[in-house]
Amino acid sequence: MWKLNRIIAENLCAFRQLDYYLQQGVTTLVFGNNLDNESQKSNGSGKSALIECIAVGLTGTPLRKIKNEEIINDKADGCYVMLQFTNDGSNEIFTIERQLFRKDSTVVTCHIERDGKLVESDEAVQPSIDGYNKFILEKLGISKEELYNNFLLSKFKFQDFLSSSDREKKEIINRFSNGILVDGAIDKLAEDKLPVAEELRKAELEIAGIDGRIEMLAEQIIAEENSRIEKKRSKEEKIASMQQTISEKRALTRQKEEELKAIDCLLGTLENADVEIQSLENEDHSLEYYLTRIRALLQPLAIELSDWEKTIEKKCLERKELEKELAGWDEQLAKAGEKVAAFTASYEQLKEEYRIFTRTYATRVGTYDEKLEQMEQEVAQANRDIGQLLQNRRTLSKAIEELHARLAGTITCPRCNHEFLVSDRTFDVDKGHRELEERKKRLSTLTNRITECESNVVALENTQKEIRANKRELTMLNSQWCDRIDQSSLHYRTASGELDGIAASQKKVKAAITSLWTDQGHICKRVFDEAFDLIDDARREKERKIKSVQEEKAALKSSIDTLEEAIRELDKVSSSDLTDSLKASLKAYRKKSSEAVTRKLGIGKRMQRLEEQEQHFVQFKTYLANTKIEALNSITNEFLENIGSDIRIKLSGYTALKTGKVREKISASLVRDGIDQGSFGKFSAGEAVRVNLATILAMQKLINSNCELDKGLDLLVLDEILEAVDEDGLSSIFAALNHLGITALVVSHGNVAESYPYKLIVTKEHGYSTID
């Protein structure tokens, strides 16, 4: 594919010198800065002159409706433009150079570099300016109309596809689909059919004439045999009777001629009605207007349309019922949405509160567990201490009892009051009493310590009970939070389920309404289809009638010829000889009739084969056209989605009628949310620009894909085509173009975000424009 790489210009418009390399694969915005006239800001800065360089280089003529010399700078006698294209597929560089002069003729030269070497043959040399213009476009693989409508777009030349006439749409589609080649085959078949049709018509008239002669001969033979039996009628009476019959048949022939004229007149009226209905179909009116006009055109022809008003009324009633049901679902959906929103808010609030609760929950539980563990250790230690103290007390109590028992055996000397033990005279009783008192004191201390330790254990156990109670309370509170959240979640899921159910019902009703709208949108097409079918049926019926009348006329002429011949025979021969002559003639004509029928059958088979071939070509052309229409429809909608538009286009292609004919009518309607919004012309300028841009990109893709190998053009130039789009819309469009990797130049007046990265500023100062 060819890419425009470089533009050089001298003395073109306000540019004295211009040398610009295009940024490939991005959309570059061309801004203007007119320093010579602050009131104009970007206007008059020379932005469009950059675009004119491309137009002049490719076609030799400017986009604006001016003379060629008016593109030359006022201070110069001529201008120079050079365009350099590169092609990675063929490894070529294609250079175009043009020089325009005020007084002299234009000079054009082209150069081709292939694989890094200049082509020195006459491949790029042409004998005339027109030859160069044709060669340049053929080298790129596009036509001049395609260039102006899909690559180099200016308000001076651009004609959008959707607003173009049906004839222009068909020409464009036929170029894409190669239907023009099929048209050539169909035209050739039509030429081949003409002599066969004429031959067939002559054969049919010949058979009709022979049949008329046979019928008349049979009547004459019967009349001759009857007259021979009756012997009543004279030769003069027979001749007079025959002449009377001839006169009647001539009158009948004149009647058939009048009938043919009347049928021809009706055919003309049918043709006029057909043309007017075709013209009406290309106009934009309401369905009611279409029905009124079509009925008015068909009424003189005694043709009645179906009761479409009843069909429309029925669908309108169905739609109103569904819209009423939809309103109910909308109300329920709003309530269900509020309910879901309330439950969602409640659920989120609970989760937030629980999140706050859980921040301290784990810490508090951990603290409780740590305290319990510590207290368990303290209780265990206290129990161990109590055990040890009890052991000590038991030992001490035993020692006290033993000492007390020994002291119980004390004897007091009456003389000196000395106390002693008989069993152990060395035992110091006084010391024993003192030791006993000391041990009792120690026992009392141990008992107090045991009591104190037991009190501490009880206190610790009470504290443990309290901590466990607090922990259980905290755990229960956590469970309650979880239950509340689960309950809230259940309410939310239930409400969401109800919302989804209502939304599904609403969607179902919307789909039904959309289907009815679609059916109503198709009614218009069906009305025209029926009208054309009825006209075709009437036309075929009239053509059959013409054929029948012509055959009857031919039979009448043959009958007259036969009668005149019989009169001449009657003058020459006797009655018996006349009968024999008539029978011989009848036999001869029956043989001729058989031969004529055989010839007609052969001609009919030839005609049938030609018609079958023509039908195959027509069906193939319809298939090719509809394939490209579907592709254009699909690619356009894909681009519309990419640029963030909620509008979709619906193109209807060629339609095969019941008669076998094909209606080559391409209609376009726009759809939003599945509902047909009507024709392209009713949309706002901003919406129309989005649709047009998507169509342009789709057409570009189809044109380039339809080119020969390594041909096509990767370039989109928009000069004041997107002015109706707002800043957000432009941002989404440029983002989509950059995502697609299209090399584009867009002349802009600044209604785009300042942060856009790909900009080109044309500044005009002291009468000359330069690129910053």
Q: pLDDT of 183-233, one tens digit each?
A: 777 778 788 878 888 887 777 777 777 776 677 667 767 766 666 544 445
DSSP secondary-structure letter at 22?
A: P
How far apart, in whole angstroms, are the C-alpha atoms of residue 371 and residue 765? 87
Lowest mean pLDDT among 490-504, 554-568, 671-685: 671-685
Confidence of residue 96 (pLDDT cuts 50, 70, 90): very high
Structure tokens belonging to residue 603: 């001609």
Better-scored residue on pLDDT, 448 or 202: 448
pLDDT at 224: 65
How far apart, in whole angstroms, are the C-alpha atoms of residue 727 and residue 724? 10
Confidence of residue 98 (pLDDT cuts 50, 70, 90): very high
Cross-strand pairs, 716: 744
pLDDT at 663: 60
Name the residue among 150, 8, 137 with its Cα closest to residue 83: 8
Q: Which residues contact 149 (CB under 8 A, 6 or more apart)?
A: 157, 158, 159, 160, 161, 696, 699
Report, as an integer, the average pLDDT of 572-590: 66
Question: Residue 157's CB: how many other CB atoms inside 10 A?
Answer: 20
Report, as an integer, the average pLDDT of 711-734: 78
Answer yes or no: is pLDDT of 424 > 70.
no
Answer yes or no: is pLDDT of 63 > 70.
yes
Do residues 545 and 183 lie in contact, with contact meaning Cβ atoms separated by under 8 Å? no
- Name the E strands within 258-398: none
Confidence of residue 291 (pLDDT cuts 50, 70, 90): confident
Structure tokens belonging to residue 685: 């300028």
Q: Scan for tokens 């040399």, then name that residue.
A: 125
Lowest mean pLDDT among 94-103, 240-249, 559-568: 559-568
Answer yes or no: is pLDDT of 265 > 70.
yes
Q: Which helix (H) or strand (E) holds 56?
A: helix 47-59
Do residues 590 and 622 lie in contact, with contact meaning Cβ atoms separated by under 8 Å? no
Confidence of residue 235 (pLDDT cuts 50, 70, 90): low
Better-scored residue on pLDDT, 494 or 161: 494
How far apart, in whole angstroms, are the C-alpha atoms of residue 152 and residue 100? 20
Spell out the SS3 assignment of 631-662. Answer: HHHHHHHHHHHHCCCCEEEEEECCEECCCCCE
How far apart, in whole angstroms, are the C-alpha atoms of residue 538 and residue 532? 10
Answer yes or no: is pLDDT of 170 > 60.
yes
Residue 78 Ramachandran class (φ > 0 left, ψ -120 to 50 alpha, else beta)? beta
Structure tokens belonging to residue 291: 């029905």
pLDDT in tens, 322-338: 888 888 988 888 888 88
Q: Scan for tokens 């000889």, then name that residue.
A: 577
pLDDT at 590: 77
Percent of the chain whose predicted confidence (pLDDT) is above 70: 84
**Mean pLDDT estimate for the chain:** 80
Write down the domain spans for the chain: 1-142+709-771, 308-409+451-557
pLDDT at 232: 42
pLDDT in tens, 648-701: 877 776 555 555 555 666 767 777 766 666 665 566 666 777 788 888 888 888
How far apart, in whole angstroms, are the C-alpha atoms of residue 667 and residue 673? 20
| Angle in degrees, 0-180, between the axes of helices 179-230 and 166-177, rounded to the nearest 10 | 110
Name the residue among 525, 531, 534, 533 with its Cα closest to residue 666: 525
Report, as an integer, the average pLDDT of 243-270: 84
Do residues 119 and 112 lie in contact, with contact meaning Cβ atoms separated by under 8 Å? yes
In CATH, which of 3.40.1190.20, 3.40.50.300, 3.30.160.100, 3.40.190.10 is domain 1-142+709-771? 3.40.50.300
From residue 334, how far is each of 338, 496, 499 by CA, in Å? 6, 12, 9
Backbone torsions φ then ψ of 304, nearest 5 degrees: -110, 130
Backbone torsions φ then ψ of 704, nearest 5 degrees: -65, -35
Q: Which helix (H) or strand (E) holds 91?
A: none
Q: Which of the given ranges, 83-87, 242-246, 499-503, 645-649, has the highest pLDDT on average? A: 83-87
Task: Report the b/e string of 4-13 with b at 16+ CB within 10 A.
Answer: bbebbbbbbb
Q: Which helix (H) or strand (E) holds 528?
A: helix 429-572
How far apart, in whole angstroms, are the C-alpha atoms of residue 31 and residue 747? 6
Q: Which residues contact 410 (CB under 8 A, 6 or more apart)?
A: 419, 420, 421, 429
pLDDT at 230: 46
Report, as an integer, the average pLDDT of 562-589: 67
Lowest mean pLDDT among 189-193, 194-198, 312-316, 514-518: 514-518
Report, as an integer, the average pLDDT of 250-259: 85
Report, as an integer, the average pLDDT of 57-64: 88
Q: Give CB contacts under 8 A, 24+ apart, made by 464-468.
A: 464/372, 464/375, 464/376, 464/379, 467/368, 467/371, 467/372, 467/375, 468/368, 468/372
Residue 417 Ramachandran class (φ > 0 left, ψ -120 to 50 alpha, else beta)? left
Lowest mean pLDDT among 62-71, 138-147, 410-419, 479-488: 410-419
Answer yes or no: is pLDDT of 564 > 90.
no
Strand 744-747 with 27-34, pairing: parallel
Per-residue DSSP letters for 148-161? IIIIEEETTT---T
Give the amino acid at 490: L
Answer yes or no: is pLDDT of 97 > 90.
yes
Do residues 484 and 350 lie in contact, with contact meaning Cβ atoms separated by under 8 Å? yes
Report, as an integer, the average pLDDT of 555-567: 75
pLDDT at 534: 84
Query: DSSP 3-state assignment of 395?
Result: helix
The structure's pTM equals 0.53
Structure tokens belonging to residue 52: 């004119």
